[in-house]
A and B are shown apart, each in its own frame.
Chain A
Amino acid sequence: MGSLSFLYFGTVIVLTAVLVVALRKPMYSVIALLVMFFHIAGLFVTLHAEFLAAVQLIVYAGAILVLYLFVVMLLNVKEDDSYQRQFRLGMGLGLLALAEVVYIVSAAGLPEEPVRERATAAVSAGNTETVGRALYTTYLFPFEVASLILLVAMIGAIFMAKKGMMGPETPKAVQAVESK
């Protein structure tokens, strides 16, 4: 049962990941990424990380992907007619890196089973409660730093996307449309 669900989720994740990179139209790539996020959330559930599965769906599928869709539609991106000219080099390097990782993982002697059966305190308290407790006690300072990162990103995004802050007053994109 456990390996069957891993097989399903793993297959779909790999397929959609390849589709994200291979598909020519950005819109299709974003949709493939959406399917991949859903299946990664499923994989998290089988690994007893229910809180992260929910966060994955809400933040990645709900917020980040909508931002991508928004920008793809806003900029009216054309489909790529070709890949970069270093296509072969990139594929070769990727395969090399993959072979290296597979070799290291197979030689590392990783545990086959979870070190402890999960019928312990961590499970009886619930996943969300365990994560929350760790987040607000041991990792309190990184948590505050993360909120600062979000604040900086918010201000930075507003600053850069605001008109007239970067580049000329009349943008080139507008000039190109007006001159037609």
Chain B
Amino acid sequence: MTPLSSYMILSAIVFVTGVVGVLIRRNIIMILLSIELMLNATNINFVAFSYYLDNVAGQVFVFFALTVAAAEVAVGLAIIIALYRGKATIAAEELNLMKW
């Protein structure tokens, strides 16, 4: 049987990959994809804990995380399309209107 800690380390690796992706990619679409990676890493953790502690609350929480992820993608991609229409670019470093 796999110990719970291996699931946590797997999810930590995926989460950190997402964080690094947010930090190093130039493209806003890629930044959103990295956020998806992070959400999925937390989902792995929730489901693993739900199984090991025999509690269905973890799976219910993954369900809500999915809802929020779907909302986030819809709004985020709409923002990207509005941005592209206005500025003809989606490179993160060129969108500095509100930068201090």
Contacts and interface: CB of A to CB of B under 8 A. Distances in A.
Interface of A: 2-3, 6, 10, 13-14, 17-18, 20-21, 26, 29-30, 33, 36-37, 40, 43-44, 47-49, 51-52, 55-56, 59-60, 63-64, 67-68, 71-72, 74-75, 77, 80, 82-84, 86-87, 89-91, 93-95, 97-98, 101-102, 105-106, 108, 110-116, 118, 120, 122, 127, 130-131, 134-135, 138-139, 142, 146, 149-150, 152-154, 156-161, 163, 165-168, 171-174, 176
Nearest to A19: B17
Contacts of A59: 66, 69-70
Contacts of A86: 23-24
A1 to B, nearest CB: 10
A97 B82 CA distance: 34
Given A55-B66, A157-B75, A71 B81 contact: yes
A75 B51 contact: no
B85 interface: yes
14 contacts: A29-B30, A33-B37, A43-B47, A55-B66, A59-B66, A60-B36, A60-B40, A98-B13, A111-B52, A114-B1, A114-B51, A118-B54, A157-B77, A160-B75
A135 B47 contact: no
Given A55-B66, A130-B56, A161 B82 contact: yes
B34 A49 contact: no
Nearest to B3: A112
Contact of A77 (B14, B27, B75, B82): B27
Given A3-B1, A17-B13, A49-B47, A90 B67 contact: no
Main secondary structure on B side of the interface with A = helix
Interface of B: 1-10, 12-14, 16-21, 23-27, 29-30, 32-34, 36-37, 40, 43-44, 47-48, 50-54, 56-57, 59-60, 62-64, 66-75, 77-82, 84-88, 90, 92-93
B34 to A, nearest CB: 6
A21 B56 contact: no
B1 A112 contact: yes
A64 B66 CA distance: 10
Main secondary structure on A side of the interface with B = helix
A-B residue pairs, 4 tightest by C-beta: A90-B23, A153-B71, A167-B86, A21-B21
A37 B88 contact: no
A14 B37 contact: no
A30 B17 CA distance: 15
